[in-house]
Amino acid sequence: MAKAVVTWGIVSLMLMPLLYGTLAQAEAIGGFVVPTSKAAQLDRCVEPTEAMRRYHMDLIRHQRDTTVYGGIRGTKHSMSGCVDCHAGHDASGEPIPVAAPGQFCQACHHYAAIKLNCFDCHATVPKGEAWNQEPEPTAPEANWMMNLLDLHLPRGRVTP
C-alpha cells in the first residue's frame, strides 16, 4: 500500500512539469480573444465560454443544415456571427481575416492541429467591412427606392 503511494507520488511528481506546461499553454490560448475584435468588449459569447470551446463545431454544424435546407439565417449560432465578433483589426481599422495566422480561429486550430476549412468558402471578415460590403436586404416596400439610390454605388469590391 505504502509502496503504491510512493510510486504514484513519484510518477505524479515526474508528470508535474508536463501537466504544468499543458495548463500554462491552455491558459495562454484560453485568454485569447483578439483585443481589436468586437468580442474583446463583450462579457461573454452566445454561450458560456467553456461550452463554446467544447461545442462550437456542433453548434455551427447544426446551424449550417438549418440554413442550407431550411433557409433560416443569421440566428444566434450562425457562423457569420462568429466572424463579426471575433475578427481582429489592424491599426488602420481594417479587418484581419479570422483564418489568418495568429487570429482567433486559426490560432487555436493551429494549436490543436485541426484543419480549419470553414473559410475555404465562407467570408473571413465581418459583413460590411473591407471587401465584404454586401448591402443589407431592405424591406420589400422600400426596395424600389433603395435600389434606385443604390444603383450607382459600387456594391462589390472596395477599391483599396
Partner 1 sequence: MKQDHDTIDQGRRALLGAAAVGAAATVGFSSTIVSAEGRKTPVTAEHRWGMLIDTSKCADGCTACVDACELENGLNLQERPHGLSQQKWDDQRSTWIRKVRLQDNLSGQITQLPLMCQHCEKPPCVDVCPTGASFKRADGIVMVDRHICIGCRYCMMACPYKARSFIHEPVEHKFTRAPRGKGCVESCNLCAHRLDHGENNTACAEACAQTGHQAITFGDLNHANGKLRQALKATKNRQIREDLKLNTGVRYAGL
Nearest distance, CB of residue 137 and partner 1, angstroms: 4
Distance CA 79, CA 95 (A): 17
**Contact call for residue 132 and partner 1 (CB under 8 A):** yes
| Rounded (5°) CA angle 94-98-123 | 85
Burial of 92 from C-beta contacts in 10 A (0-12 / 13-18 / 19+): exposed
- The residue range among 18-26, 27-35, 48-56, 143-151 that interacts with partner 1, by the rule CB under 8 A, is 143-151
Distance CA 29, CA 102 (A): 11
**Contact call for residue 22 and partner 1 (CB under 8 A):** no
**Contact call for residue 151 and partner 1 (CB under 8 A):** yes
- Which triple of cell numbers denotes residue 143? 426596395
x-marked contacts with partner 1 along 58-97 as a string, rule CB under 8 A: ----x-xxx-xxxxxxxxx---x--x--------------
**Contact call for residue 127 and partner 1 (CB under 8 A):** yes
